[in-house]
Structure 1
Amino acid sequence: MKFPAPPLEGVIVVVQHERAVARMLESALSHAGATVFVTTTAGKTGEVMERYQAHVIVVDSHDAELLRTSTSSLPPSIE
């Protein structure tokens, strides 16, 4: 038996350097009810997370490495 998934609420930041993947994730998450911001740099990710108090960050291993090496631009709460 399948149960419907509850709608997503809150802010999600998608960190993705590939535009097609970013659009797909943004579309799916937005359709599910989340407010989605797509970023491609650590600096912009930090700005968005701080400004909108993001609840979730979606990042692949490539972009995670970029974030980890640029932690000085991220808010202390996510370092």
Structure 2
Amino acid sequence: MWPKEIKAGREILDGGRFAFNLRHDSLGDLGRIVLQTSQQGGSHVSYEVIDLPDGRAEERKLVLESLTKIVTTAFQKARR
């Protein structure tokens, strides 16, 4: 599911949430994509960007937005 430059680890969070902790080959740690069930049914997908002192937070955000779309699309296809 992930592009070759992305490494992902999985983590189970409190409250039944699930996260992909993501790392990029050149940007380093990106942050994580968090999945949780929604009250209306289905899932809510969000992301959290790591803000390191290297000034590349905006780049990380753009990559995470793109990866979040990949996850959302995969969930939509799985529900069909």
- What interval of TM-score do these two structures reach, taking the shorter chain for normalisation? under 0.3
Higher RCO, 1 or 2 (CA under 8 Å, sep at least 6)?
A: 1
Higher normalized strand content (fraction of residues): 2
